[in-house]
Structure 1
Amino acid sequence: MPDPVILWFRRDLRLADQPALAAACQDGPVIPVYILDDDAPKHHAMGGASRWWLHHSLESLAADLKDKGSRLILRRGKSAEVLAKLAKETGAARVHCIRHWEPWWRNAERAVAKDLELYCHDGNYLARPGSVTTGAGKPFRIYTPFWRALKQHMPPADPLQRPRDIPALSKWPASDQLADWALLPSKPDWAKGFADWQPGEDGAHKRLDAFIRHAGKYDEERNFPSIEGSSRLSPHLHFGEISGAQAWHKTADAGGSVETFLSELGWRDYAQNVILQFPAYATENARDNFDKLPWRTGKAAKDDLKAWQQGRTGYPIVDAGMRQLWQTGWMHNRVRMITASFLIKHLLIDWREGERWFWDCLVDADYGSNAVNWQWTAGSGVDSNMFVRIMAPLTQSEKFDAADYIREWVPELKDLKDAAIHDPDEAGCRPRAYPPKIIGHREARERALEAAKKTK
């Protein structure tokens, strides 16, 4: 019998279109392992919402492996040390994995390769990050030319099918118990509103099948939070319960404006290319002049940050988004832009505070996408909106017909008419239970423009 091989799972928790699994099955008995490594990412260890998702996704993966006569081994610690120990226990010398691009995972892969034969496979993105380059062979920094170039490589290869069999060991190594990792909140259980999610590979495909029915209207519906025209695939894609290639092939022929959805898959690839070039993108301004921007600090700023986090700013569309985030671990994409812009430009609070809050609260918290989106909004990114373009949340709310969305997440305003609900202060009908505006739009705009002069 050949020596066993280790299959190292991370953000690729699926059996279909899993090239590392396919290669491991050709090598010998497979030892699937997931390592809870909180040491490697340091300040970007998974947040609370992601840990909730991970618990349920690992449950689903373990059940799928069991159906194939295999098991999921759970270990905790530094990845290189855990894998070396597992290899010594089992006699394995080779490790297969899907390549990851977060800086801590790249470091971990190098550490693993010092002691074991490490085979990294591509499979989480439409094209390998770094492989789509300019005519001069340099990596792209701007999204639009990147997307044009990426499309020349599309469609991606046909997804791999699930293996018929996964060669198993006759004697399995010890495994942690998932419950002992305490990934789920208990005191209090703040995740009760997460019940509509179904983490895992099966849940990912159900979500994709539901989206396909209206994928052709994506561009027309995605900006209206009351309609919910987005795919809601982001956490499934982040945890690798479904691959970008699978999502592409199932939706590409939907017609209509599905091209816009495909470009969003391309944005995921773009974000990975950015963090490949700038590993510290979540903590450092890409434009040095933004280091001069006088962000607000002190007690007043901390109080405003807390009000933003709790959805108590007096701007209904902002508060609805922040409450949706807290209660469900997710926020509508258009509203993400509005709430991020509000924190940065209305409250003049450092974008990194928002990045950290989203990192902890989002079930789809992705290092590349989260950092790129926040720096795009702040104007500090290599490709970004200009800081002086200040989004007007009240106008956005009315333009994108967010009345029913506000009623759902800000029940204090549920009895207001559409004409008043976007700005109850201005309409003169703000209920006592709902706070007044934390700052006026004109005042906030003037303050932000004055601060922007410091970056010149």
Structure 2
Amino acid sequence: MTISIVLFTSDLRVHDHPPLRAALRGADAVVPLFVRDPAVDAAGFAAPNRLAFLADCLSDLDANLRARGGRLIVRRGDLVDEVCRVAAEAHADEVHMAADHSSHAHRREGRLRRALQAQGLRLFVHETVRTAVAPGSVTPASSDHFAVFTPYFQRWSQQVLREPLAAPRAVPVPDAVGSEALPARGDIADVSPGLAEGGESLGRRQATDWLRTEVSTYDDRHDDLPGDATSRLSPHLHFGTLSAVELLHRLRPEHGPGPAAFVRQLAWRDFHQQVLAARPSAAFSDYRSRHDAWRGTAEAHDDIEAWKQGRTGYPVIDAAMRQLAHEGWMHNRGRLLTASFLTKTLYVDWRIGARHFLSLLVDGDVANNQLNWQWMAGTGTDTRPNRVLNPLTQAKRHDPDGDYVRRWVPELEGLRAPAVHEPWKLPGLDRAAIDYPDPIVDLADARDRFQRSREHARGGAR
């Protein structure tokens, strides 16, 4: 009897799962394995919101495997040690897993390959499980990766995608391999009260509903803050409960600016993956240094805390930060505005903002989070590094009636636009009746500070 192990990481699904299908083709039985690795906790990636969503995903994956005659095996410990231990218990012949291109994943894969080889086992690593196009498969002639999105997108769009794989009908699992209990959301503390539920079953229903009813207007409405017309599929893509390849196969036959705009967002996800795969240091250092003398925690403590707590005095910024705290998720336009405000208006180091986002975001992906923060800070791949998003202009454009602000900043629920975006301009008694702070910084002064700092940094770098 031949037995294969399928090591699940951030690909928690049974539909369109190349490692699972490959393992089933070559074996009489498989061991679907997920390892809860303390190294992930130690690295700071195990935030409560992601742990809660992960618990949902594992429970749903187990249910989907049981519906096919199998079950999910969960172990806790060093990933390499646990895979080798399970391989010995099951008398497995080989291990299949999805490719991951972070520096941590590369080190882990190398350790696992060497340990399995010592036991006489083979490791098969499958591409295009987490991404639609594998990092490194689309490169310019003069470099190992694209540093600008538009030429990458042109090449990415020409790639022939593999065909999506149906979920297997049966997943036979040997009885001899034991499992720990599945983690439960209810056992995890400090979870955002409005955090969405996870799992492949829910993700597939959500994707089907959105593609049927909303994607046609995505181009016009994806920046609509109160309309909340984004897909909210990013957590499912992050945990792999949805396949980017399958989504693209469903989108590409569609016509119109809505589907095209959403395809472009999926391309941005792959773009960031290929940048980080080629430049792992971009997770913690500037991809393109502007030699900024950023303000840090000591110098800007009060401003940073006001930003985190949604008490900056700029309602659209505070609304977005409060949405993040409540839902563990933030509207994409809100992410741009709050990142611009922290880095350009407050001139605070982008890493401080990136860490805070990773502590709360359920879709907190290192590649997308860190490189989007750098894009907005002007130290990443943005070709306009000095752009500043004015929160008042942006609020009036993307929340013209103030509905988004009133939803998340109840202190202002009695105000209508334009006053809801500039409550400090209210007459004395009306202003005094509202328990809401004045702006922590003047926008004109802040812009001057940023421009002077960038000019000084540019001169010092010559």
Task: Give the TM-score range, shorter chain.
Answer: over 0.9
Change (3 A) 1:144 1:407: same
CA contact (8 A) 1:313 1:438 kept: yes
Distance in 1 separating the partners of 2:451 and 2:142: 37
Moved over 6 A (4+): none
CA contact (8 A) 1:282 1:355 kept: no
Q: Deviations over 1:61-90 (max 9, x none)?
A: 111111111111111222111111111222
CA contact (8 A) 2:45 2:358 kept: no
Query: Are residues 1:363 and 2:369 paired?
Result: no
Structure 1 residue 387, shift from structure 2 partner? 3.8
Which residue number corresponds to residue 272 of structure 1?
Answer: 273
Which residue number corresponds to residue 439 of structure 1?
Answer: 441
Distance in 2 separating the partners of 1:253 and 1:399: 32
Map residues 296-335 of structure 1 onto 2, 5 A cutoff. Answer: 296-297=295-296, 299=298, 301-335=300-334
Structure 1 residue 136, shift from structure 2 partner? 4.8
Change (3 A) 1:334 1:385: farther
List runs of 5+ in structure 1 lacking aligned partners.
none
Q: Deviations over 1:129-179 (max 9, x none)?
A: 10011245742111110000011114x22210001111221x232212234
Map residues 120-139 of structure 1 onto 2, 5 A cutoff. Answer: 120-122=125-127, 123-136=129-142, 138-139=144-145
Superposition TM-score, scaled by structure 2 size: 0.92
Distance in 1 separating the partners of 2:327 and 2:305: 19
Superposition TM-score, scaled by structure 1 size: 0.93
**For 1:30, what is the secondary structure of its paired residue?**
strand
Change (3 A) 1:94 1:177: same
Structure 1 residue 295, shift from structure 2 partner? 1.5
AA paired with 2:131? Y
AA paired with 2:275? V
Q: Which residue of 165, 170, 185 maps to 2:188?
A: 185
Distance in 1 separating the partners of 2:235 and 2:227: 20
**For 1:167, what is the secondary structure of its paired residue?**
coil
Q: Deviations over 1:435-454 (max 9, x none)?
A: 11111111111111111123
CA contact (8 A) 1:310 1:323 kept: yes
Map residues 1-80 of structure 1 onto 2, 5 A cutoff. Answer: 1-2=1-2, 4-28=3-27, 29-39=29-39, 42-80=42-80
Which residue number corresponds to residue 119 of structure 2?
Answer: none
Q: Which residue of 158, 163, 167 maps to 1:162?
A: 167
Distance in 1 separating the partners of 2:385 and 2:141: 30
CA contact (8 A) 2:57 2:199 kept: yes
Distance in 2 separating the partners of 1:137 and 1:299: 39
Change (3 A) 1:184 1:347: farther
Aligned residues: 445
CA contact (8 A) 2:47 2:359 kept: yes
Change (3 A) 1:184 1:103: farther
Distance in 2 separating the partners of 1:103 and 1:183: 32
Distance in 2 separating the partners of 1:203 and 1:51: 17
List runs of 5+ in structure 2 lacking aligned partners.
117-121
Structure 1 residue 245, shift from structure 2 partner? 1.2
AA paired with 1:244? A
Query: Are residues 1:176 and 2:180 paired?
Result: yes
Query: Are residues 1:152 and 2:158 paired?
Result: yes
AA paired with 2:177? P
AA paired with 1:133? T
Distance in 1 separating the partners of 2:383 and 2:311: 26
Change (3 A) 1:217 1:182: closer
AA paired with 1:366? D
Query: Are residues 1:244 and 2:244 paired?
Result: yes
CA contact (8 A) 1:425 1:436 kept: yes
Structure 1 residue 223, shift from structure 2 partner? 0.5
Query: Are residues 1:353 and 2:352 paired?
Result: yes
AA paired with 2:336? M
Distance in 1 separating the partners of 2:185 and 2:278: 35
CA contact (8 A) 1:198 1:204 kept: no
Percent identity (aligned): 35
AA paired with 2:138? V
CA contact (8 A) 1:185 1:191 kept: no
Structure 1 residue 427, shift from structure 2 partner? 4.1
Change (3 A) 1:119 1:190: closer
Change (3 A) 1:107 1:312: same
Structure 1 residue 299, shift from structure 2 partner? 4.4
Which residue number corresponds to residue 388 of structure 1?
Answer: 386
Distance in 1 separating the partners of 2:105 and 2:250: 29
**For 1:192, what is the secondary structure of its paired residue?**
coil
Map residues 200-279 of structure 1 onto 2, 5 A cutoff. Answer: 200-212=199-211, 213-257=213-257, 258-279=259-280
Change (3 A) 1:400 1:182: closer
CA contact (8 A) 1:51 1:184 kept: no
AA paired with 2:188? P
Distance in 1 separating the partners of 2:296 and 2:287: 21
Distance in 1 separating the partners of 2:297 and 2:358: 23
